[in-house]
Amino acid sequence: MTVVTEPDRVGGDELKKLERIRQAALKSFATKGAAGTSLRSVAADAGVSLGLVQHHFETKAGLIKAVDDYVMSAVIAVVAQPVSAPPRDSIADMGSRVTTLLLEHPEVVDYFGRALIDGSQLGITIWDTLAAFGMARWTARKESGEARDDIDVTWASLNSLVLAVGTLIVRGHIERQIPGAFSSPEQLNRWQQSVNTLLREGLFPQPRNDEA
């Protein structure tokens, strides 16, 4: 059998079924893990036959690869792709990308978080890609004068990444401390404004000249 995962190799109803299979697998992998997911349960959740899942992906390993490829492309498309022109506010631009990822791909965020915790190759690949992207952005900020000359670019990138990714992963716990869902426009705006302030100004008042 041939594994068929590329959208341009199927069409019409078959493409819709393929996407349902992938989404069902993504949701199950994110909540139960790959070990706790069977092809039969994915087929049931997608509303298709087990034979159809096996026709397109052959084995669970084939299905995992298809989901991993989709997750990787979704994360990179939102977070790491360059814009056509430099944003006026690169800090706000990055926060906007993170909130877009959560709003448009919540299952991707959940699966990525699980991949990081499990130490899977997908988690490692996405983390390293985002870290490299962050290093490039902070280097550019430093060279353009947007960031201080004395910043540690490596830790500026890693701290920003931990702040963004960590918030997405533990958003269920965060919601116990805030009114409403974290993914609501009001709370996402509140989070982004707080992060922007933290990165630009810090949380403590700057010492006066006579206190320095």
Q: Judge whether 186 and 180 are in contact, CB under 8 Å.
A: yes
Residue-wise pLDDT tens digits, 21-74: 999 999 999 999 888 999 999 999 999 999 999 999 999 999 999 999 999 999
Separation of CA 198 from chain center? 21
**Kind plus residue range of the DSSP H or E element containing 30:** helix 12-32
Residue-wise pLDDT tens digits, 120-130: 999 999 999 98
Residue the block writes with tokens 């994110």: 30
Handedness of CA 6, 11, 16, 21 (dihedral sign): negative
Non-local CB neighbours of 147 within 8 Å, separated by 6+ positions: 138, 141, 156
For residue 199, give the nearest of 150, 147, 125 by alpha carbon: 147
Separation of CA 146 from chain center? 26
Between 202 and 170, where is the model more confident? 170
Which amino acid is located at 15 in the chain? L
Instruction: Give the whole-angstrom CA distance, residue 86 versus residue 83.
Output: 7
Tokens of 21: 């299979």
Give the start-to-end residue ranges of the domains of the chain: 1-58, 69-201
CATH architecture of 1-58: Orthogonal Bundle (1.10)
Instruction: Give the whole-angstrom CA distance, residue 140 versus residue 102.
Output: 26
Q: Kindly state the average pLDDT of the residues 105-114.
A: 91
Give the CATH class of 69-201. Answer: mainly alpha
Residue the block writes with tokens 């995992």: 64
pLDDT at 170 exceeding the cut of 80: yes
- Residue 8's pLDDT band (cuts 50, 70, 90): very low
Number of helices followed by number of strands (H, E) in the chain: 10, 0
Domains 1-58 and 69-201 share a fold: no
